[in-house]
């Protein structure tokens, strides 16, 4: 007996020590996994069951993030950083929810979170054959990608017509190869229910972001509302809480080091099936340019934020996303260089080329693969400086005023076309959302920042060499002193434009191209002047996609032949399952990271960084920790409330807000980030450094209970 016990304990320990596994499994792949063997203690049908209720039914796609239902009345759990846009837009100097946190202690106090929608999967099916039926061998590259694009748009519109209130999306799984149609229920009334103070929800701020040890209570609560008849209506005071088919009990069961965990969520994008060309492109071209501009804007906005609370609130959301993006990109750059990823992939490709060359049939099938990729990327590199400058200028990412002006110009061209031939943002099904994004952004309009950022974008565009000049920018920069000419333009244009007014933006979005020309608004005129160059760039992008898609499809096929295995498609914002174990890691020689942090650690960091804004936990939290007011939420082995944990699941951006479950399917955590080394996950996953970070469910419950005394919510969640 004793022997058997020892063997069992040994086996369990061995399994817990096995290295983690790469894998973001789409729904269609789940039935192929032997769940028991991997460590699950639930049946496949509990995980996913198209003809019944399963965990998948409690998972929400929250526009770029993941979330889940945690009560029968539509209470939603997600990350603080995912709810940040809502919290920030509801914050003012009088009601400073960023500083103080937010708690609606009655249903009437729950505040609409504009722009937030909650999507739930209703069904999915493979539609590859239908999508690719429009492609013929005689097509040019741009023609091919346009034909596929339009076919997808037509199918989506048809499905939405036949299913009112639903959103249809066709996701490209393997590029140029497989397509899956997803139908989502689309809940449009989402409200903010609870957010901790920023000093908890973002404790450690920019310094600790993408890092471990981490002490961030990155969670917030929202609620889904529907019309009294159950339809997915826009916000209305008459709406009632949504009753989900499935919700999760937030559990105090917890996990220990070595325990099995899994998560369901909507990872955004990974690039593991792309070629070495793409990795080199990211390392040498794309990421350095984005980091350079991002750092410039961050420095500007940080300085401006110091001038007063009102300005700081206005700039908070854009700063937060810039910090997140830039630091992640820096981590990726470092990873690409240190791990020599492009070089390693090039070696694998040379091997693959030898495999192709060894067989005449294969050679015929894949002969042009790498030469084709070489040509496509050479062309992209040649175009890169100009494309980047132009794209930065017209997109809404950096300059709100110019981005809106350009979108108005583009709308006037696109809206004149047949619905399914328009660019996606201007199709009828998306138009209202585009309009909302544009008008709501103006709430954060802060002219000095706008002027400075647009000035920099123009300066960078004006500095392109003569042969690559963007005509409209060259004209603005004029003769002689470019700097002075641009500054004069900006002064006059900002004084004169009417685009600061959301009502004007809405009205102009509906104007024809001719009507716009007559307006004489400086930014609209600039937008119209930029349009021909932009259209040419967009066409080049479609040509390039049409060229790359079949090549990347071939790359996957050739690798499959070579390795004799199936692959999992790269992440593409569709629902995926990932699993792993709670596990520390070693980021450097002689350094070992433990997988849990605690409340005591928040206190330590606060004390060690006196006065530092990123590390000033609320006094109440410090007092509760000093009084050891742990409630029922302490980790038995640590003797303290666990705050965050590490595990080796395969996640990426978009997995933010994914519920983390133990082997029995109980919600024990909330995913929110990765360690710095794992920013490279998007290009290459590895058991030694790929660690993701979650908030421990016990900290969430401790915060609601001990810190905020949010009895109403705890009762609703079935905790008290």
Interacting residues toward ligand ASP by CB under 6 A: 324, 651-653, 655-656, 672-674
Rounded-to-integer distance, Cα 151 and Cα 159, Å: 12
For residues 596 and 638, the answer to whether their CB atoms sit within 8 Å is yes
For residues 220 and 83, the answer to whether their CB atoms sit within 8 Å is yes
**Closest separation in Å from C-beta 500 to ligand ASP:** 30
**Closest separation in Å from C-beta 324 to ligand ASP:** 6
Residue given tokens 């450097």 in the structure block: 588
CA nearest neighbour of 670 among 347, 277, 216: 216
CA nearest neighbour of 558 among 332, 340, 327, 358: 358
Nearer to ligand ASP, 177 or 327 (CB): 327
> What backbone phi and psi angles, to 5 degrees, belong to 92?
-140, 175
**Closest separation in Å from C-beta 271 to ligand ASP:** 14
Q: How many CB atoms are located within 10 Å of the residue 545 CB?
A: 20
Nearer to ligand ASP, 294 or 653 (CB): 653
Nearer to ligand ASP, 291 or 356 (CB): 291
For residues 596 and 644, the answer to whether their CB atoms sit within 8 Å is yes
Nearer to ligand ASP, 78 or 651 (CB): 651
Nearer to ligand ASP, 598 or 658 (CB): 658
CA nearest neighbour of 17 among 213, 255, 259, 254: 259
- Chain centre to alpha carbon of residue 653: 5
**Closest separation in Å from C-beta 218 to ligand ASP:** 8
For residues 66 and 266, the answer to whether their CB atoms sit within 8 Å is yes
Nearer to ligand ASP, 117 or 656 (CB): 656
Rounded-to-integer distance, Cα 90 and Cα 194, Å: 12
H or E element, residue 513: helix 513-517
Nearer to ligand ASP, 651 or 703 (CB): 651
Q: Where are the alpha helices (DSSP H) in 133-255?
A: 141-162, 198-201, 205-208
CA nearest neighbour of 619 among 35, 99, 22: 99
**Closest separation in Å from C-beta 651 to ligand ASP:** 5
Rounded-to-integer distance, Cα 445 and Cα 450, Å: 8
**Closest separation in Å from C-beta 82 to ligand ASP:** 8
What residues does 579 pair with on adjacent strands? 262
**Closest separation in Å from C-beta 456 to ligand ASP:** 25
Nearer to ligand ASP, 144 or 327 (CB): 327
Rounded-to-integer distance, Cα 291 and Cα 482, Å: 25
Q: Which residue is nearest to ligand ASP (CB)?
A: 653
Burial of 64-84, coded b for 16+ CB within 10 Å and e otherwise, reads: ebbbbbbbebbbbbbbbbbbb
**Closest separation in Å from C-beta 246 to ligand ASP:** 24
CB neighbours of 318 closer than 8 A, spacing ≥ 6? 301, 444
Helix 341-357 with 309-338: angle, nearest 10 deg: 50
Nearer to ligand ASP, 209 or 497 (CB): 209
Classify residue 138 by its DSSP letter.
Answer: T
Q: How many CB atoms are located within 10 Å of the residue 24 CB?
A: 27
CB neighbours of 69 closer than 8 A, spacing ≥ 6? 58, 60, 75, 76, 77, 224, 244, 246, 247, 248
Nearer to ligand ASP, 267 or 601 (CB): 267
**Closest separation in Å from C-beta 671 to ligand ASP:** 7
**Closest separation in Å from C-beta 178 to ligand ASP:** 25
**Closest separation in Å from C-beta 597 to ligand ASP:** 16
Rounded-to-integer distance, Cα 555 and Cα 563, Å: 12
**Closest separation in Å from C-beta 214 to ligand ASP:** 11
**Closest separation in Å from C-beta 652 to ligand ASP:** 5
CB neighbours of 211 closer than 8 A, spacing ≥ 6? 204, 675, 676
Nearer to ligand ASP, 71 or 651 (CB): 651
**Closest separation in Å from C-beta 320 to ligand ASP:** 10
Region of 233 please: left (phi>0), alpha (psi -120 to 50) or beta: beta
CA nearest neighbour of 521 among 547, 495, 482, 483: 495
Rounded-to-integer distance, Cα 440 and Cα 478, Å: 34
**Closest separation in Å from C-beta 653 to ligand ASP:** 3
What residues does 598 pair with on adjacent strands? 642
Nearer to ligand ASP, 78 or 652 (CB): 652
For residues 264 and 577, the answer to whether their CB atoms sit within 8 Å is yes
**Closest separation in Å from C-beta 254 to ligand ASP:** 22
**Closest separation in Å from C-beta 270 to ligand ASP:** 11
Nearer to ligand ASP, 267 or 569 (CB): 267
Nearer to ligand ASP, 220 or 352 (CB): 220
**Closest separation in Å from C-beta 107 to ligand ASP:** 29
> What backbone phi and psi angles, to 5 degrees, belong to 463?
-85, 0
For residues 72 and 243, the answer to whether their CB atoms sit within 8 Å is yes
For residues 387 and 537, the answer to whether their CB atoms sit within 8 Å is yes
Q: Regarding beta strands 66-69 and 59-61, do their DSSP bridges make them parallel or antiparallel, or are they unpaired? A: antiparallel
Nearer to ligand ASP, 91 or 324 (CB): 324
What residues does 112 pair with on adjacent strands? 191
Rounded-to-integer distance, Cα 39 and Cα 662, Å: 10
Nearer to ligand ASP, 54 or 78 (CB): 78
> What backbone phi and psi angles, to 5 degrees, belong to 673?
-165, 180
Nearer to ligand ASP, 210 or 531 (CB): 210
Nearer to ligand ASP, 196 or 653 (CB): 653
């Amino acid at each position: 007996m004793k022997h058997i016990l020892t063997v069992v304990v040994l086996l369990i320990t061995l399994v817990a020590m096995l290295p983690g596994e790469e894998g973001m499994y789409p729904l269609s792949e789940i039935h192929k996994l032997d769940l028991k063997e991997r460590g699950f203690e639930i049946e496949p049908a509990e995980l996913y069951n198209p003809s019944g209720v399963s965990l998948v039914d409690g998972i929400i796609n929250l526009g770029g993030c993941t979330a889940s239902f945690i009560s029968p009345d539509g209470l939603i759990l997600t990350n603080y950083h995912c709810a940040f846009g809502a919290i920030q837009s509801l914050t003012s100097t009088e009601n400073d929810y960023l500083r103080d946190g937010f708690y609606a202690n009655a249903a009437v106090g729950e505040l609409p979170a504009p722009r937030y929608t909650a999507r739930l999967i209703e069904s999915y099916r493979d539609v590859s054959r239908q999508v690719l039926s429009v492609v013929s061998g005689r097509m040019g590259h741009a023609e091919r990608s346009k034909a596929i694009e339009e076919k997808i748009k037509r199918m989506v519109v048809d499905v939405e017509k036949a299913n009112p209130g639903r959103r249809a999306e066709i996701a490209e799984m393997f590029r140029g190869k497989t397509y899956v149609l997803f139908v989502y229920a689309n809940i449009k009334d989402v409200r903010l229910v609870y957010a901790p103070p920023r000093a908890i929800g973002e404790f450690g701020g920019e310094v600790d972001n993408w890092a471990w040890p981490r002490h961030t209570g990155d969670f917030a609560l929202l609620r889904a509302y529907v019309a009294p008849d159950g339809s997915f209506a826009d916000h209305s005071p008459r709406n009632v809480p949504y009753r989900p088919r499935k919700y999760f009990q937030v559990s105090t069961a917890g996990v220990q080091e070595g325990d099995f965990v899994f998560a369901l969520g909507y990872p955004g994008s990974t690039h593991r099936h792309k070629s070495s060309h793409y990795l080199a492109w990211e390392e040498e071209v794309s990421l350095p340019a984005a980091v350079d501009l991002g750092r410039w804007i961050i420095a500007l906005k940080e300085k401006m934020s110091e001038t007063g609370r009102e300005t700081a609130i206005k700039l908070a959301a854009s700063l937060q996303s810039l910090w997140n993006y830039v630091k992640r990109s820096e981590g990726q750059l470092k990873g690409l260089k240190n791990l020599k990823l492009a070089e390693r992939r090039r070696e694998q490709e040379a091997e693959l080329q030898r495999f192709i060359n060894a067989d005449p049939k294969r050679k015929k099938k894949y002969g042009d693969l790498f030469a084709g990729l070489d040509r496509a990327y050479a062309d992209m590199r040649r175009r890169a400086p100009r494309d980047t400058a132009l794209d930065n200028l017209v997109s809404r990412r950096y300059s709100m005023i110019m981005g809106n002006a350009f979108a108005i110009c583009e709308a006037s061209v696109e809206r004149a076309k047949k619905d399914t031939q328009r660019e996606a943002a201007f199709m009828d099904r998306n138009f209202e959302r585009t309009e909302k994004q544009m008008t709501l952004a103006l709430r954060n309009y802060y002219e000095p920042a706008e002027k400075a950022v647009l000035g920099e974008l123009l300066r960078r565009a004006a500095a392109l060499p003569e042969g690559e000049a963007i005509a409209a920018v060259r004209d603005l920069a004029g003769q002689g002193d470019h700097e002075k000419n641009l500054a004069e333009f900006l002064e006059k244009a900002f004084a004169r434009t009417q685009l600061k007014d959301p009502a004007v933006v809405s009205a102009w979005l509906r104007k024809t191209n001719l009507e716009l020309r007559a307006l004489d608004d400086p930014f609209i005129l600039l937008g119209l002047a930029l349009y021909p160059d932009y259209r040419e760039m967009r066409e080049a992008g479609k040509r390039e996609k049409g060229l790359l898609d079949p090549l990347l499809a071939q790359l996957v096929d050739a690798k499959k032949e070579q390795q004799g295995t199936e692959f999992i498609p790269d992440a593409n914002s569709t629902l995926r399952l990932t699993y792993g174990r709670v596990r520390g890691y070693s980021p450097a020689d002689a350094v070992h990271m433990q997988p849990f942090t605690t409340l005591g650690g928040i206190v330590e960091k606060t004390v060690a960084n006196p006065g530092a804004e990123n590390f000033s936990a609320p006094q109440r939290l410090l007092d509760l920790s000093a009084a050891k007011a742990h409630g029922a939420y302490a980790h038995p082995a640590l003797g303290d409330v666990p705050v965050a944990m590490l595990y080796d699941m395969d996640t990426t951006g978009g997995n933010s807000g994914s519920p983390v479950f133990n082997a029995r399917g109980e919600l024990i955590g909330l995913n929110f980030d990765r360690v710095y080394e794992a920013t490279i996950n998007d290009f290459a996953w590895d058991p030694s450094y790929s660690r993701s970070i979650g908030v421990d469910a016990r900290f969430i419950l401790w915060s609601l209970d001990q810190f905020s005394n949010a009895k109403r919510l705890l009762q609703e969640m079935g905790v008290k």
